[in-house]
Chain A
Amino acid sequence: MKERLVVIGNGMAPGRALERLLESAPNAYDITIFNAEPRVNYDRIMLSPVLAGDKTFDQIVIHGDRWYVEHDITLYKGVAVIKIDRAAKTVTSAIGETVPYDKLIIATGSRPIIIPVPGANLPGVLTYRDLDDVDAMLLAAKSRGSAVIIGGGLLGLEAAAGLKEQGMDVTVVHLMPTLMERQLDTAAGHLLKKALEARGIRVLVKANTKAILGDKKVRAVQLEGGTELPADLVVMAVGIRPNSALASEAGLAVNRGIVVDETMRTSDRDIFALGECAEAHGVAYGLVAPLYEMANVVAAQLAGDALAKFVPPSTATKLKVTGINLYSAGDFADGKDREEIVLRDAARGNYRRLVLKDNKIIGAVMYGDTSDGPWFFDLLKRSVDIGEMRETLIFGQGYAGGIPLDPTAAVAALPDDAEVCGCNGVCKGKITSAITGLGLKSVDDVRAHTKASASCGSCTGLVEQLLKATLGDAYNPTAVQPICACSDLGHDDVRRLIVAKGLKSIPDLMQALEWKTSCGCAKCRPALNYYLLAIWPGEYEDDGQSRFINERIHANIQKDGTYSVVPRMWGGLTSARELRAIADVVEKFKIPTVKVTGGQRIDMLGVRKEDLPAVWADLNDAGMVSGAAYAKGLRTVKTCVGTDWCRFGTQDSTGLGVKIEKFMWGSWTPAKVKMAVSGCPRNCAEATCKDVGVICVDSGYDIHFAGAAGLDIKGTEVLGHVDSEDEVIEIIAALVQLYREQGRYLERIYKWAKRVGLDTIRQQVLEDRERRKALHDRFVYSQRFAQTDPWAERAGGKDAHEFAPLADLKMLEAAE
């Protein structure tokens, strides 16, 4: 018969022990787990990302229900053990069940310390220990009120950052002069304090909590000296105390924690203790590395390896606050027999300190650039004599040995268990095996599959080097980015070859340029369709099936599959007739939402696809055409009222805007184009954040371009000054044509301009008159084939199949 193993507690340490045990001796034990928390084993270290909203509980589960079923483990969720009877070798649970054991593991963890001040048990005072605490904090954070965190250690600061992220006003109260004094020295602690303050977190050091005030609920925290800090929520994170009561009642030797020997056995040979409740070598541990090492020893002992012994490993600490990088490992207290090497770069906020003893690293603290942390830690763990490289040691692995080392070799030298991504806890081995196993080629691939570098991004450089080290020459980030996975050619090459080889259809192009897929994909087909259309105006027949749905049916798809309809309002002008027609359409087709857009026109949202042609017909009847609000093409020309009405207007900005829009509508461009014309430098039309903008002045017109106000925000660049409206129009047409010929598909004007250079553009569309004229003429030519209202065509019956179902079987089920 199998031996019976009972485990009290289901945290990370016993979880790891069982994993290891099942690997080495899968059928040795009948396993029963009692877990006082009502859930499966999850990654407690990741609670802070859950609090900050970066992760959900599901993402931090280590063993889901399925794992227990697959391994035939009996798991009691939410059931505590209240008694161990060592004579009878049984445990008794809170629900009265008595279960016998041959071997017992106590992994009862620890309790947060509650400092014994008046008011410590008021509602609103929490600790930070498990998911229930996180849930309670998230609930409290909804108030957007004030939170006081007592304790400036690792957990306290993570809680502070998380609550700040949730919108609370946060103050950290710390007893010691330095934050995280167990992991950081004074200098790094100071940098950390400044970084937290820069995020709007108030930090009070050398502050002793005297009382927590409030009647039915916490109201404030009172400090020694009388200061009162208003608080809707107080989180105590001042340390942990091993949970040893159960063991002590059973008569086991207990000191601060449950005393264990090197084999992790308690004073009873059949009872092991591990995790935060255990005390080994006189120390109760709290960081994950030693706890996992304990788990390995317990598993080995249970599997029959009597020689397995617990040796506390060196530990490294990282703060899991996105955007704050610090790394600390080993022992860095000052001492007579110790030396130190320090590097400071105040401007960049970098700080590094290595503590040496007998030419070996025994401690490292880093703030800011922590990329060499794993390397220093590796040297520390292996007790490497650093005499040879001492002079350049502090500069990190890149300079080890005095010669700048190939960074790829450096990253290749890291052990598989070296942590690369601190935010998501991804180690090197996981990344390299994903690269080879899944055939990953780029940083984006690695992000998608391993989450490494997917949060704060500070390890992106390391991930790139891992790609380089793993793939060798096959990784080439500087190579031309292929248009998509269907081809090795970049956008510019494709366009050049279309012209050079005279390619005039997508199938011809794919054949001639050796496309790797039968008919491309959703990335390349729209790009190819645009290039062919822009290069061969009047010759290439637009391929609707290669257009994104919005451009295929000339309306914007919404999240529920309905569409929005935006008619043109030239220069933002409308009339009673147009507004009446819009009102009628809205009522006739029961359109649920009507909204004014940022581009000075009206959006009708929630139109059913079948209704689109009829809606358009009615709008056409009132003289309106498609506003192309869906197009990679000219969207709006926003204007102010200019000399028509405004007492400050210097030119007819409305009239010029209407002229530009009437001239340019219908044109297809690599990405959307938004324009504006302001009648004076007060710039009411906001022309200086548009793709193309005109600011009217007394002496004429300033033409601007390459602004952005979306994902990026960027003021425009000045293209030049001209005297007449005709010149404005010619120059804008030349500019847009140059962009149509050079811009890569989906590349907005500001990105194109940055890539090719502002001066080149200025030279071609402003200074070189002949070039300007030629560009303008090519634009005018292509407009001959572009200015047909797509709504009128479809209201007239074109693409009717788009708007009607193939068949309607709705009655079918009713008949059955």
Chain B
Amino acid sequence: MTIMKPVWIDIGKLDDIPVRGARVVKTAKGCVAVFRTADNEVYAIDDRCPHKGGPLSQGIVHGHSVTCPLHNWVIDLTTGMAQGADVGSVKTVPLKTEAGRLLLEANALWLARGE
């Protein structure tokens, strides 16, 4: 049995991300999109739309959701779930801010969705 402890990695500061915008973090398992909403909440989710793999980081951010640039699926940033009539979900990655720095949980990066 292995016991997993959270590993928090500094990926930058809040102001590096435009308000209602996103930046990407490259990882060995593809990109993670880090979003900043109008009320300065931050979320990290896989940068792949469950529909056709569109880069969600390039979408329009509204409320706590993002609209995929390829076919307009709307993904809830808090849960990773597709909204409306569409069905699908994206892996979310734990992210926290401490003293204006953004910290991403590293173990979660290597887990496939649902593990």
Of the listed stretches A76-84, A326-334, A544-552, chain B binds A544-552
CB < 8 Å neighbour of A812 from B9, B12, B55:
B9
Complexed CA–CA distance, A806 and B24 (Å): 6
Report how far A518 CA is from B20 CA in the complex, Å: 11
Q: Measured between C-beta atoms, what is the minimum distance from A658 to chain B in Å?
A: 33
Q: Mark A547-561, 1 if CB is under 8 A from B, else 0.
A: 111100000010111
- Name the A residues within 8 Å of B58 (CB-CB): 549, 557, 561
Asked if A526 and B60 sit within 8 Å, CB to CB, the answer is yes
Within 535-551 of A, Cβ neighbours of B (below 8 Å) are at: 544-550
Given A807-B25, A810-B26; A522-B59 close (CB under 8 Å): yes
Least CB distance, B48 to chain A, in whole angstroms: 9
> A525 with B62: in contact, given A518-B39, A549-B69, A810-B27 (CB under 8 Å)?
yes
Partner of B29, one of A518, A520, A526, A813: A813
- A525 B60 Cβ-Cβ under 8 A: yes
Residues of A within 8 A of B63 (CB): 517-519, 521
B27 with A806: CB separation less than 8 A: no
Question: Which residues from 87 to 110 on chain B have a C-beta closer than 8 Å to any C-beta of chain A?
Answer: 102, 104, 106, 109-110
Whether A545 pairs with B60 at a CB distance below 8 angstroms is yes
Q: CA–CA, A517 to B69, complex, Å?
A: 20
Check B21–A812 contact: CB distance below 8 A. Answer: no
Interface 0/1 of A493-507, CB less than 8 Å to B? 000000000000000
Is A809 an interface residue, CB under 8 A from the partner?
yes
Does any Cβ of A come within 8 Å of B85's Cβ?
yes
Q: Which residues of A contact B4 (CB under 8 A)?
A: none
- The reply to whether A805 and B24 contact each other, CB–CB distance below 8 Å, is yes
Q: Is B6 an interface residue (CB 8 A)?
A: no
Q: Which one of B11, B37, B102 has the highest number of Cβ atoms from chain A below 10 Å of its Cβ?
A: B11
Please name all residues of chain A whose beta carbon is closer than 8 Å to the beta carbon of B60 when the two chains form the complex.
521-522, 525-526, 545-549
- Alpha-carbon separation in the docked complex, A546 to B21 (Å): 9
Asked whether A545 lies within 8 Å of B27 as measured between CB atoms, the reply is: no
Shortest Cβ distance from residue A282 to the other chain B in the assembled complex, whole angstroms? 48
By a CB distance below 8 angstroms, the chain A residues around B70 are 557, 559
A805 near B85 with CB under 8 A, answer no
The answer to whether B62 and A809 have CB atoms under 8 Å apart is no
CA distance in complex: A544, B20 (Å): 10
Q: Of the candidates B23, B38, B110, which one forms a contact with A519 in the assembled complex, judged by CB atoms under 8 Å apart?
A: B38
Task: Report A263-296 residues with CB < 8 Å from chain B CB.
Answer: none
Residue of A517, A544, A559 touching B62 (CB-CB under 8 A) = A517
CB distance from A222 to the nearest CB of B (A): 50
Q: Which of these, B25, B37, B52, contacts A806 with CB under 8 Å?
A: B25
The answer to the question of A117 belonging to the interface, with a C-beta cut-off of 8 Å to chain B, is no
User: Which residues from chain B contact A547 at a C-beta distance below 8 Å?
Assistant: 60
Within 8 Å CB of A813, what residues of B?
A: 27-29, 109-110
Instruction: Give B71's nearest chain A residue, CB to CB.
Output: A559
Q: State whether A559 and B52 are in contact (beta carbons under 8 Å apart), knowing that A519-B20, A807-B25 are contacts in the complex.
A: yes
A449 within 8 A of B: yes
Interface residue tally for chain A (C-beta within 8 Å): 32
Complex: A809 Cα to B84 Cα, angstroms = 33
| Interchain pairs with CB closer than 8 A, number | 108
- What is the CB-to-nearest-CB distance from B44 to chain A, in angstroms, rounded to a whole number? 10
Indicate if the CB atoms of A522 and B23 lie closer than 8 Å: no
**Mask of B12-36 contacts with A, CB within 8 angstroms, 1/0:** 1000111111011111110100100
Tell me the bound Cα distance from A809 to B20 in angstroms. Answer: 24
Q: Which residues of B contact A808 (CB under 8 A)?
A: 25-26
B74 contacts the other chain (CB 8 A): yes
The verdict on A87 contacting chain B, using a C-beta distance below 8 Å, is no
Beta-carbon contact of A801 and B23 below 8 Å: yes
Asked whether, in the complex, the Cβ of B18 is within 8 Å of the Cβ of A557, the reply is no
State the CA gap A526–B61 with chains docked (Å). Answer: 12
Q: Which residue of B lies closest to A816 (CB)?
A: B110
- The chain A residue with its CB closest to the CB of B61 is A545
A809 & B59 in contact (Cβ 8 Å cutoff)? no
A contact residues around B69 at 8 Å (CB): 548-550, 557
Q: How far is the CB of B37 from chain A (nearest CB, A)?
A: 8
A287 CA / B38 CA spacing, docked (Å): 58
Question: Chain A 774-816, CB within 8 Å of chain B: the 1/0 string?
Answer: 0000000000000000000000000001000111111111100
Q: Are A809 and B109 in contact (CB under 8 A)?
A: yes
B67–chain A nearest beta-carbon distance, Å = 3
- Chain A residues whose C-beta falls within 8 Å of the C-beta of B65 in the assembled complex: 521
CA distance A144 to B81 in the complex (A): 42
Find B67's partner among A522, A560, A810 (CB 8 Å cutoff).
A522
Residues in A whose Cβ lies below 8 Å from that of B55: 557, 561
Q: A519-B62, A522-B59, A545-B60 are in contact. Are A807 and B18 (CB under 8 A)?
A: no
| Cβ contacts A515-535/B at 8 Å (1 or 0 each) | 001111110011000000000
- CA separation between A808 and B21, bound complex, in Å? 18
Known contacts A522-B74, A813-B29; is-contact A806 B12 (Cβ 8 Å): yes
Residues of A within 8 A of B39 (CB): 518
Residues in A whose Cβ lies below 8 Å from that of B52: 559
A448 proximity list for chain B (CB < 8 A)? 84-85
Given the interface pairs A559-B52, A561-B58, the reply to whether A809 lies near B9 with Cβ below 8 Å is yes
A561 to B70, CA, bound (A): 9
Contact yes or no, A801 B67, CB < 8 A: no
Whether B110 and A807, one on each chain, are in contact in the complex, defined by CB atoms closer than 8 angstroms, is: no
In the assembled complex, how far is the CB of residue A494 from the closest CB belonging to chain B, in whole angstroms?
Answer: 17
Cβ of B72 within 8 Å of any chain A Cβ, yes or no, is yes
Q: Which of B16, B25, B74 contacts A809 (CB 8 A)?
A: B25
Q: How far, in Å, is B17 (CB) from chain A's closest CB? A: 7
Cβ of A801 and Cβ of B16 under 8 Å apart? yes
Q: How many Å lie between the Cα of A276 and that of B67 in the bound state?
A: 50
> What is the chain A residue whose CB lies nearest that of B36?
A545
Q: Is the CB of B59 within 8 A of A807?
A: no
Given contacts A526-B60, A801-B16, A807-B104, list 12 more A-B pairs with CB under 8 A. Answer: A449-B85, A525-B60, A546-B20, A549-B59, A550-B69, A559-B54, A806-B24, A808-B25, A809-B9, A809-B11, A810-B27, A813-B110
Hey, which bits of chain B sit against chain A, CB under 8 A? Answer: 9, 11-12, 16-21, 23-29, 31, 34, 37-39, 52-55, 58-63, 65, 67, 69-70, 72, 74, 84-85, 102, 104, 106, 109-110
